[in-house]
Each structure stands twice: as structure tokens, then as C-alpha cells.
Amino acid sequence: MTTLRLAIVFFAACSLVACSKPKPGASCTATPPVASSYSGICDGKQAAIVCLGGRYESIKCKKSAVGCMEVMGSVSCDIVEDVGEPCQREFGCSSDHKKFLHCEGGKWALKMACKSSLGCVENVQGVRCTSGEAAAGDPCEANQKDQGSCSADHSQLLVCDGSKFFVANTCRGQNKCRALGNKIDCDDSLAEIGDPCEEPDSLSCDVAKKHLLKCTEGKFAVHESCKKRCNNAFNKFSCD
């Protein structure tokens, strides 16, 4: 009799708290999360299934001694924020502070890579992303249009076209690509035929110093073949 009564009580309790594991994508109702506390359940030590925006979502919890913890019907989880993970606000930084994120369709999407030492910073003033380096195709903002950046190996000058970075100039000279004060300097005193270039009619020597090159229609082309060598000292170019 006692065993049967306990079983009935357990069944009733299960019905009240929905013992079945919530499924990602199922509808739910919950108050907005407060201080990393969510309505849901833990799904292992570093993951959880929680109610976000009226739907259950699978989230990752940052690795720590606590990880995911259930307390009084709520889940405590320091959520991992990265591309593809669920989001609740319009903008944010990734957990590793290397990406500026934008919430699209309930998932974080990359808005801009933040490759400087400061990375991505988020505070009461908003989200700030600084990029000391860039790669072709990296996203950038409209207000960064025409802003230059160096590639990670300093061999290229990249410029923002308002939505992404593109290679504007190769920097094969001794000084490569570098920051000088508030400006980016690209040493293109050496180039290869077909390399992109910014300044029309600017001159360069090919790396083998057999040709004098000229920037024509955005690319370096052979201007003159040198019988001996191409000279590029002190930004003065000549062909011997």
C-alpha cells in the first residue's frame, strides 16, 4: 500500500514538472533569463536545453568547475556565445573576444573579426571591435569604407569596401605592410606581374628585378624589360 501510494505521488509530481526531457525547437513559456539563470534543464556538465524566445534551444556552457547547474527549477549556465549559437540581443562579442557578432534569425552570425590585441569589448557603452589585421573576404562595416588594414603576414594591404575587405595592394618590399601613426604604409617597391595596386601609373620592380612594372588598371604590368636589372632605391625606379 505504501509503495503504491509513493508511486502515485511520484507520477503526479512528474506530471506537474514535465519529467520528459524538453526537445529543442518545442514551444515554451519562460520569463527572461536573469544573471545567467534560464528555465530548462542541464544536458550534461557543459550544455543545457533552455527556453529562449518562446522555443527550447540547446546551448553550450563555458567550461568551469560549475558548468551547468540546476537550482530550484532553473538552469545556471554561463552561455558560450559564438557563430551559430542561440542569441537574445542584437549585437555581442564571442566568448573568446575575437568576433563581433550580430543576431540573425535567433542565431549569432559573424559581423566582423576583431584581430587586434584589444579584440572585441562589450560594456555599457556598447560593442567595440578593433581589427589590426584582416584577410580578404573578412566582413567590415559601412562606416569603415576605405579603411585600410594589413594581412597577418604583412604582405598585403587590404581595404574595406563597405561590407568586406579586399586586397588593394601587395607589399613585397622590405618594409612590407605596417602602421605608421594613424596611417597604413605599404612598401610595393617590389611586386609581381598581375599583383593588385592602388595608385595608377606608380612604378615597381618585379621580385627578380628583370622588369620595370607600372600600375595599369589596378594591376602591375610590364612597363619595360631591363637588359641588366631594375633599380628601386629610395623610391626611384629605373631600368638598366
For residue 197, report the phi and psi dihedrals to the nearest 5 degrees.
Answer: -145, 155
Clarify whether residues 173 and 204 are in a common domain. Answer: no
Domain boundary among 166, 187, 208: 187
pTM over 0.85: no
The Cα angle at residue 29 between residues 46 and 51, in degrees rounded to 5: 15
| Domain final residue, candidates 72, 98, 119 | 119
How far lies 226's CA from each of 170, 216, 239, in Å?
22, 19, 5
Q: 210 and 181: one domain?
A: no
Same domain, 56 and 85: no
Digit-coded pLDDT (tens) for 144-153: 788 888 998 9
Q: What is the dihedral of CA 35, 37, 38, 44, to 10 degrees?
A: 130
**Within this chain, do residues 54 and 99 fall inside the same structural domain, yes or no?**
no
Q: Across the strands, what pairs with 76?
A: 37, 69
Q: Are residues 146 and 104 in the same domain?
A: no
Residue 6 has pLDDT above 50, yes or no: no
Residue 239 belongs to a domain? yes
pLDDT at 14: 42
User: Which of 170, 187, 204 marks a domain boundary?
Assistant: 187
Contacts of 122 (CB under 8 A, 6+ apart): 92, 93, 128
Q: How would residue 17 be classed by pLDDT, with cut points 50, 70 and 90?
A: very low
Q: Is residue 41 part of a domain?
A: yes
pLDDT tens, residue by residue, 201-220:
999 999 999 999 999 999 99
15 within a domain of the structure (yes/no): no
CATH label of the domain that carries residue 231 = 2.30.130.50
Any domain includes 13? no
Q: Which domain holds residue 110?
A: 81-119
Determine the straight-line distance between the first and last CA of the chain, rounded to whole angstroms: 108
Widest CA span of the chain, in angstroms? 108
Domain membership of residue 1 (yes or no) is no
pLDDT tier, 20 (very low <50, low <70, confident <90, very high otherwise): low
Domain match, 172 and 216 both: no
Parallel, antiparallel, or unpaired: how do β-strands 203-206 and 190-191 relate? parallel
The verdict on residue 145 lying in a domain is yes
pLDDT digits (tens, 9 = 90+) for 73-129: 788 888 889 999 888 788 899 999 888 899 998 889 988 888 776 788 887 777 877
